[in-house]
Structure 1
Amino acid sequence: MAVETPRYATVLRDGDHELRDYPALVVAEVTVEGDQKTAANRGFRLLANYIFGGNRKRAEIAMTAPVAQQAVGEKIAMTAPVAQVPGAAGTWKVRFTMPSAWTLDTLPVPNDARVSLQRIEPARLAVRRFSGLARPEDVQAQSAALLAWVQARRLRPTGPVTLAQYNPPWTPWFLRRNEVMVEVAR
């Protein structure tokens, strides 16, 4: 069965890179601590609990892709790689995009106060696609390549790089779809 992914318009395609325009999105988000993998697991469990009925209406909400993860509080110079130093602990935002049929007004209130529902404004994102397991060192290298492409295109990043993972954990590494993305000024 297909899993819904956010709609976007491709503005530019250049090898493994794209420039995309996303509409406003509604997301469920948590902030967790740990290294990249630990934070992803903790955040995923909290958000999965919400969509599988851990809300005041006990409503089930369809799973979507990707699961997005972003380091919190990093100030990133244009030439610096992002994400985190492999193995380092930090604070992360983990986010599920809600299915397009839901709005902030219609989504049930989470039972867990750590789950926050947010509206993300329309944005232009620079994106680099890659396969594999998205280990911290891979994310760091892919993020550096994305930021180099952004700089070469004379785009201006307006936030930190986000890791987006599209596949369930049982997907073989060579079939996985991952992306690193950064919002850029229009």
Structure 2
Amino acid sequence: MAIEEPKYTVLEKTPPFELRSYAPMILAEVQLEGDLDEASSQGFRLIAAYIFGQNQVSEKIAMTAPVAVEEQAVKSAKIAMTAPVNIESNAGQWTVSFVMPSEYTMETLPKPLNSKVQLRQIPAVKRAVITFSGFYNSQKVAEKTLELEEWMKTKNLQATGAPKFARYNPPWTLPFMRRNEVMIDVRD
């Protein structure tokens, strides 16, 4: 299933590290408390509910396939799934976000029915990224974050935000085929 991902260009590559320049994007996000797993699954469910139709809209929205469209009793739109699901922590508070398909603007995205789901425009940004496969847990994410920070030091890259953890695959994906990333926004 081809899932749209945020658009970016690779500025530098030293596997497993990359320096990327991302195009502006719109996020649907929720803020939650708890640990990584709790926040991840609860946030995923809340935002998935939004993109699967819990939104206010009075017209059909073109899909960026492959999401099935079914008629709802209440007029609603399904929004194509994108990857990755981003997770960032701020002392036990988590922000879980999905990047919205690039065809949408803040004006054309249907408004979420759940007030916990917020839409936010992100300007173009540079990010240092480390990619890894397998299962994730808080310790593995912390180790990969440390590796990324060490690489950033060797490149004289300055962080401008907290690390973000991104996962690209559904839970049933075999561990060796999973794609996970830690991303840190860096000064231009």
TM-score, length-scaled by structure 2: 0.89
Give the structure with higher Rg (CA): 2
Aligned position for 1:119: 121
Match of 1:181 among 166, 180, 183: 183
What 5-or-longer segments of structure 2 have no aligned partner? Answer: 58-75
Structure 2 counterpart of 1:82: none
The aligned residue for residue 85 of structure 2 is 67
d(CA) in 1 for partners of 2:46, 2:180: 21
Q: Which residue of 1 aligns with 2:61?
A: none
**1:152 to partner: Cα distance:** 1.3
Looking at structure 2, the residues matched to 132 and 68 of structure 1 have their Cα atoms a distance apart, in angstroms, of 17
Residue in structure 2 matching 1:98, options 85, 97, 100? 100
Paired residues, number: 170
Percent sequence identity is 44
The answer for the alignment partner of 1:154 in structure 2 is 156
Give structure 1 stretches of 5+ with no counterpart.
74-89
- Residue by residue, what CA displacement relative to the aligned partner does 1:24-58 show, whole Å, maximum 9, x if unpaired? 10110000111000000010000000000000121
Q: Specify the code of the residue in structure 1 equivalent to 2:169.
A: N
**Aligned equivalent of 2:132:** 130
- In 2: Cα distance, 1:64 partner to 1:154 partner: 32
Aligned-partner Cα distance in 2 for 1:40–1:31: 10
Aligned partners of 1:121, 1:97: CA distance in 2, in Å? 13
In 2: Cα distance, 1:101 partner to 1:42 partner = 26
Distance (Å, rounded) in 1 between the aligned partners of 2:125 and 2:136: 24
Q: d(CA) in 2 for partners of 1:102 and 1:134?
A: 31
Which whole-Å CA distance do the structure 2 matches of 1:164 and 1:119 have between them?
18
Q: In the alignment, which residue of structure 2 is the partner of 1:168?
A: 170
TM-score (norm 1): 0.90
Q: Which residue of 1 aligns with 2:17?
A: 17
- Which deviations, in whole Å up to 9, do the C-alpha atoms of 1:46-102 show, x marking residues without a partner? 0000000000121100100000000025xxxxxxxxxxxxxxxx1100000000111
Give the root-mean-square deviation of aligned CA atoms.
0.7
